[in-house]
Amino acid sequence: MTDSDRICLLLVEDDVLVRMTVALMLEDDGFRVVEAASATEAMGLIQEGLEATVVVTDIDLGAGPNGLELADNLHFLRPDAAVIFITGRTASLAGRELMQKEAVLSKPFEGSDLARLVRELAPR
């Protein structure tokens, strides 16, 4: 079993085509991926017991809570979970100090860059 096989990711992205593309990238790298279209859906999955060790989320998730709010709630419920923000608008991170278990990847990105970040941040 590889490191990738043990890592369960929660991918949160409101754009269905982007979500499908990123999920395929991650699955091709051997990760188990659970998808959510919103922060509300993601928090529901986590509260229902999903054991995701890494959350990959867009910041702008349309109506409802954004990816930053999702990360704040996640860190409260699961302090050991890591969050990777994927965004085309890094200005939306202005004023936020990234925590030790957080990283940012600007869109567009290579699947190998995302996989590397996941492996670096995933709890061991």
pLDDT at residue 13, as a whole number? 97
Question: Are the C-beta atoms of residues 57 and 30 closer than 8 Å to each other?
Answer: no
DSSP states along 86-97: EES-GGGGTTPP
Q: Answer yes or no: pTM beyond 0.85.
A: yes
- For residue 59, give its domain range: 3-121
Beta partners for 57? 12, 85
Residue 66 has a pLDDT of: 93
Cβ pair 85, 67 in contact under 8 A: yes
CATH code where residue 71 lies: 3.40.50.2300
- In whole angstroms, give the CA distance from residue 57 to residue 37: 10
pLDDT (tens digit, 0 to 9) for every residue of the chain, 124 residues total? 455 557 899 999 999 999 999 999 999 999 999 999 999 999 999 999 998 999 999 999 988 999 999 999 998 888 889 999 998 877 666 666 777 788 889 888 899 999 999 999 987 6
Q: Which helix (H) or strand (E) holds 10?
A: strand 8-12
| Overall domain count for the chain | 1
pLDDT of residue 1: 41
